[in-house]
Amino acid sequence: MLKIAQDILSKIPSSVSYADVRIVEQESEDVATKDGVVEALESSQSLGYNVRILKNGVWSFAASYDMSEKGVDETIKKALAIVKASATHKTSNVQLDELEPIVDSYKTPIKEDPFKVPMSEKIKILLAADKAQKVSDKIAVTQASYQANRERKYFVSSIGSKIDQDIVWTGAGTDTTAVDGPELQNRSYPNSFRGQNQTRGFELVRELELEKHAPKYAQEAVELLTADTCPTGEFDIILDGNQLALQIHESCGHAVELDRVLGYEASYAGTSFLTTEKLFNFQYGSDIVNLTADATIPGGLGTFGYDDEGVPAQRTYLVKEGKFQDYITSRDTVRKLHEINNQYTKRSNGTVRASSWSRLPMIRMTNINLEPGGEEGTGKGWKLDELIADTKYGIFMSTNRSWSIDDKRYNFQFGTEIAWEIKDGKRGRMLKNPTYQGITPAFWNSCDAICGRDEWTVWGTPNCGKGQPGQVMYTGHGASPARFKKVKVGVVKW
């Protein structure tokens, strides 16, 4: 395929400033059970390519499934026509930052190829997990799901890069719904919205032991039906890792996307409060808050070898000891940043990805992480039990149920599936319908304790939406439970 990509690249006129070609083969499997029946059993494949051209200071992008000679000629012709249309309305020229050519291969390290595990075994695992949720006649819906994806990417560019990658990610989980009259409650394992997802093989599904864990979570869904409602007030809260992962995603990950900051996403997802004058001097969080973008973490859902511009995967500090340090960047946006802030001299930190061959690569989160406690600059590495014991009164919240944030990433509100009241250092009564709300910098500045690496997990968020046309990307978030002081809790009238 690299040869085919190279052949396509060779057809692009040499008058362009830059060009790259990406061929992508995607393969996926989805199995979903509901109430003891396999509701979805699907196998999907897609193959196509795109050409991305920079000419006369403007970008163009054309993509097609048609890899015949005629099809390729039409695609290139379309891309050149687009350049012409865009160039008549430009006010500045796109410039690309330096990049050395790279010739390399990358393959996700997996122990057990999910596509080679018999489908009958996958169905058996899910049906057992589905059945295990039937712990009460209050259980209205039982669900289990499994998904596996493989992307083979072949990238060549006019600077001489030739990169092929074989990226595999897998996920699974359970979701139980309990209903009693007007009351409805959910519990999922190990996380909501299709469980845990990582760039790993079927070994992840086996480690999750869905059938073993499902009854406990189903029972919690039943207990939530009669639990007390989460109280309203300003309380200390401890967020479990799976909830903190989404908090990081929404209030940090999107806020540090440099394309948003520069206004390129204003027409859809919005902009960001982390404007360029805040770089290096804004107190984003308390001094134990260290946030990184790290595409090199083994198993992280946002882990890869090279981004879709051919930039190597990297680890970057976004926030160090509370201070805002960096954005996630691309080759063109980083050049803009050099112009805006001459103190900033870094290269692209390699975060550009596209959701398929038919989509334009853009800045996407890799693995955006809250570094665990107990390491340099992160304070004490707490155990969750110690953290609870250290809390006079608070609410411990787990597993996301709802999320929403404004278009500059200031005002957020999250709901979780479950919470427990903490009184005098002890975890007490279960609470239903927990919600909390805050303003991003104030919230992160209230963080006073983070659990250590033993309780740190890279959670997968496979459903991150961005861009026009829309793209759904898979991203990761390393997090351990952490405590935040005086947060508005119970903000919804039920």
Partner 1 sequence: MIGEEKLKQIAEKALSFSKAEQTEVLLSVSGNALTRFANNQIHQNVAWKNLGISARVVLLNKKTRQNSDSGGQVGVASTNAFDDASLKDVIARATELANLQEPDPGFVSLPKPQKIIKVTDDIHHATEEEMAAGADVVIKKAMKENLIASGAYANDVSEIAVANSLGVWAHHAGSSCNLSTIVLGKDSSGFAADVARTPDEVDSELVAETAVQKALESKNPQDIEPGEYEVILEPQAVSEMMAFFQWYGPNARIYHEGASPLSDKMGSQVFGKNITIIDDPFHKDVFPMPFDFEGQPKKAITFIKNGVLQNIAYDSYHALKYHHQNTGHALPAPNTMGPIPLHMYIAAGDMTRDAMIKNVKRGLLVTRLWYVRVLNPKMLNVTGMTRDATFLIENGKIVRPVKNLRFNQSIPKALNNVVGIENKLTPLASFEGEMISLAPTLHISKWEFSSATLF
**Taking CB under 8 A as the criterion, which residues in 384-423 touch partner 1?**
401-408, 410-411, 413, 415
Q: Which stretch binds partner 1 (CB under 8 A): 59-67, 199-207, 214-222, 422-430?
A: 59-67
d(CA 47, CA 28): 12
Site for partner 1 in 24-53 (CB under 8 A): 30, 32, 34, 37-48, 50
Closer by beta carbon to partner 1, 250 or else 294:
250
Q: Which stretch binds partner 1 (CB under 8 A): 206-214, 301-309, 389-397, 462-470?
A: 462-470
Q: Which stretch binds partner 1 (CB under 8 A): 3-11, 54-62, 342-350, 422-430?
A: 54-62
Cβ contacts of 41-46, under 8 Å, gap ≥ 24 = 41/119, 41/123, 46/356, 46/357
Residue 23 near partner 1 by CB under 8 A = no
Q: Which residues, 6 or more positions from 136, have their beta carbon under 8 angstroms from its beta carbon?
A: 178, 218, 219, 222
Residue 282 near partner 1 by CB under 8 A = no
Determine the size of the site formed for partner 1 (CB under 8 A): 87
Residue 119 near partner 1 by CB under 8 A = yes
Least distance in angstroms from the C-beta of 61 to partner 1: 4
d(CA 47, CA 64): 9
Residue 96 near partner 1 by CB under 8 A = no
Site for partner 1 in 246-265 (CB under 8 A): 262-265
Q: Could you say which of 358, 398, 399, 475 contacts partner 1 (CB under 8 A)?
A: 358
Tokens for 91, please give them.
């006010």
Q: Could you say which of 90, 423, 426, 486 contacts partner 1 (CB under 8 A)?
A: 90
Site for partner 1 in 177-216 (CB under 8 A): 177, 179, 182-184
Phi, psi for 258 (deg, rounded to 5): -65, -30
Residue 66 near partner 1 by CB under 8 A = yes
d(CA 449, CA 141): 37
Closer by beta carbon to partner 1, 161 or else 186:
186
Site for partner 1 in 298-357 (CB under 8 A): none
Least distance in angstroms from the C-beta of 46 to partner 1: 5
Tell me how far apart the 2 most distant CA atoms of the chain are, in Å. 73
Residue 472 near partner 1 by CB under 8 A = no
Number of H helices, E strands in the chain: 10, 25
Q: Which residues, 6 or more positions from 133, have their beta carbon under 8 angstroms from its beta carbon?
A: 139, 142, 143, 144, 174, 176, 214, 215, 217, 218
Closer by beta carbon to partner 1, 112 or else 407:
407
**What ranges in 183-329 are assigned the alpha helix state H?**
203-208, 210-225, 241-248, 258-261
Binding mask 418-457 for partner 1 (x = CB under 8 A): ---------------x-x-x-x------------------
CB 189 within 8 A of CB 214: yes
d(CA 276, CA 376): 27
Angle at 191 (CA atoms; ends 186, 196), nearest 5 degrees: 145
**What ranges in 235-394 are assigned the alpha helix state H?**
241-248, 258-261, 331-340, 384-389
Least distance in angstroms from the C-beta of 31 to partner 1: 9
Residue 223 near partner 1 by CB under 8 A = no
Residue 352 is which amino acid?
Answer: V
Tokens for 1, please give them.
């395929």
Residue with tokens 């690299």: 2
Least distance in angstroms from the C-beta of 25 to partner 1: 11
Residue 142 near partner 1 by CB under 8 A = no
Least distance in angstroms from the C-beta of 492 to partner 1: 5
Residue 127 near partner 1 by CB under 8 A = yes
Element (H, E) at 135: none
Closer by beta carbon to partner 1, 153 or else 162:
153
Least distance in angstroms from the C-beta of 84 to partner 1: 7
Least distance in angstroms from the C-beta of 55 to partner 1: 12
Cα R_g (the chain), whole angstroms: 24
